[in-house]
């Protein structure tokens, strides 16, 4: 249990250790103090108190990495959540995740591959230096050019690669011998939205293992909510119908709106359960609104808009896991 708590804290608060940081140090310090205090209190409650050196390290790197607004939302969630639901805060990208930025990829000089489909895949560096494949999308080459925008693809302060697969023979299968497949390192660590311009690379830049990354690229589902009113948090769960094997994300409600992201949304038809919580992390029909919808989508970066003004009669039934946070489906 101690390892899980510290790993969660390290993954969220210290994920960009060694980077140039994304935080607004001075204005984030108070929130980072509150965040570490809340995590430390839960660790102690579970019988695995955080060591002073660990708390100091997490606190200082939080201030370096998280912008003030993100540190504040993370701390507020950690302070409000029961300890058995703390991971909901720490694992939610919109609450405690590293800042991310858009990547616009513009290709030119691909006239030899006119009308072919091209897929662009982003990679970011983990703490151990390994590159992790993350975001992808497709385009069609026209007049030798294409453009792909990868949303939330750049993790602040980290190094990135992009992989490019041009399906030259049109068979829908990646092959380094029949297609144009290459990888390119982006210059410097990510510090904001960026545009990269690419041209076809010579065969000596091919990556014989890159096709393995293109074999299966799951979609990333972006959810935007409206009509949330004065709710404190939006809690969302997705899974194949009937709602099972769930992924759960939280977002802070601001001005009646919220936004969340589900990486690796593997099914093309899902159920999504939504809940506008009053701040107690329990779904109660009298004080919270909740609903369930079945949706189908195409593409690798689908966007879904939820109108949360109207609750379903039995909407809270989908949030049984808030009463049983150790359930296996989470």
**What is the DSSP track for 190-241?**
--S-EEEEE-PPPGGG--TTHHHHHH-----EEEEEE--TT-SEEEEEEEET
Q: Greater confidence, 2 or 58?
A: 58
What are 194's two structure tokens?
């960026």
In terms of domains, do 180 and 90 share one? no
Residue 300 has pLDDT above 60, yes or no: yes
Among 168, 190, 215, where does a domain finish? 215
**What is the DSSP track for 231-267?**
-SEEEEEEEETTTEEEEEEEEE-BTTBEEEEES----
Backbone dihedral region of 28: left (phi > 0), alpha (psi from -120 to 50 degrees) or beta?
alpha
Among 96, 118, 139, where does a domain finish? 96
pLDDT tens figures, 87-131: 999 999 999 998 999 999 999 999 999 999 999 999 999 988 899
Q: Is 228 in contact with 256 (CB distance < 8 Å)?
A: yes
What are 299's two structure tokens?
């593409």
In terms of domains, do 14 and 56 share one? yes
Which band of pLDDT confidence, cut at 50, 70 and 90, is reported for residue 242? confident
In terms of domains, do 17 and 75 share one? yes
In terms of domains, do 234 and 307 share one? yes
Of 226, 223, 234, whose CA–CA distance to 288 is shortest?
234
What are 96's two structure tokens?
């405690």
In a domain, 48, yes or no: yes
Residue 13 has pLDDT above 50, yes or no: no
Among 96, 114, 142, where does a domain finish? 96
In a domain, 328, yes or no: no
The total of structural domains in the chain comes to 3
Of 151, 193, 146, 189, whose CA–CA distance to 165 is shortest?
146
In terms of domains, do 135 and 81 share one? no
Which band of pLDDT confidence, cut at 50, 70 and 90, is reported for residue 78? very high
Domain CATH for 145: 2.60.40.2190
Question: What is the distance between the alpha carbons of residues 294 and 270, in angstroms, rounded to a whole number?
Answer: 6
In terms of domains, do 194 and 104 share one? yes
Q: What residues make up the domain containing 283?
A: 221-322
Q: Is 197 in contact with 147 (CB distance < 8 Å)?
A: no
In terms of domains, do 67 and 127 share one? no
pLDDT tens figures, 34-67: 999 999 999 999 899 999 999 999 898 888 888 8
Residue owning tokens 């108070």:
30
Other C-beta atoms within 10 Å of 114: how many? 12
Which band of pLDDT confidence, cut at 50, 70 and 90, is reported for residue 245? low
In a domain, 329, yes or no: no
In terms of domains, do 225 and 210 share one? no
Mean of per-residue pLDDT scores for the chain:
87
What are 153's two structure tokens?
């693809």
Residue 202 has pLDDT above 60, yes or no: no
In a domain, 327, yes or no: no
């Amino acid at each position: 249990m101690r390892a899980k708590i510290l790993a969660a804290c390290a993954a969220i608060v210290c994920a960009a250790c060694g980077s140039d940081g994304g935080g607004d140090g001075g204005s984030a310090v108070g929130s980072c103090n509150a965040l570490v205090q809340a995590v430390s209190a839960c660790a102690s409650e579970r019988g695995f108190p955080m060591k002073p050196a660990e708390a100091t390290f997490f606190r200082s790197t939080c201030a370096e990495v998280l912008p003030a607004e993100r540190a504040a939302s993370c701390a507020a969630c950690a302070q409000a959540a029961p300890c058995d639901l703390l991971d909901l805060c720490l694992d939610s990208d919109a609450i405690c995740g590293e800042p991310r930025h858009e990547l616009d990829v513009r290709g030119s000089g691909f006239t030899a591959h006119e009308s072919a489909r091209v897929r662009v895949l982003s990679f970011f560096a983990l703490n151990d230096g390994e590159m992790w494949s993350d975001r992808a999308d497709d385009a069609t080459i026209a007049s030798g050019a294409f453009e792909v925008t990868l949303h939330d693809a750049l993790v602040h302060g980290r190094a990135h690669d992009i992989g490019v697969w041009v399906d030259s023979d049109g068979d829908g299968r990646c092959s380094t011998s029949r297609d144009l497949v290459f990888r390119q390192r982006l210059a410097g660590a990510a510090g904001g939205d960026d545009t990269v311009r690419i041209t076809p690379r010579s065969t000596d830049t091919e990556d014989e293992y890159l096709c393995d990354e293109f074999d299966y690229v799951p979609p990333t589902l972006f959810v935007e909510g409206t009509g949330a009113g004065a709710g404190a948090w939006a809690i969302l769960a997705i899974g194949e119908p009937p709602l099972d094997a769930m992924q759960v994300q939280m977002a802070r409600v601001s001005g009646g709106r919220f936004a969340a992201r589900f990486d690796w949304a593997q099914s093309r038809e899902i159920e999504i359960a939504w809940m506008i919580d009053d701040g107690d992390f329990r779904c109660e029909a009298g004080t919270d609104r909740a609903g369930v919808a079945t949706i189908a989508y195409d593409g690798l970066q689908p966007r879904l808009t939820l109108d949360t003004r109207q609750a379903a009669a039995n909407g809270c039934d989908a949030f049984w896991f808030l009463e049983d946070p150790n359930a296996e489906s989470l």
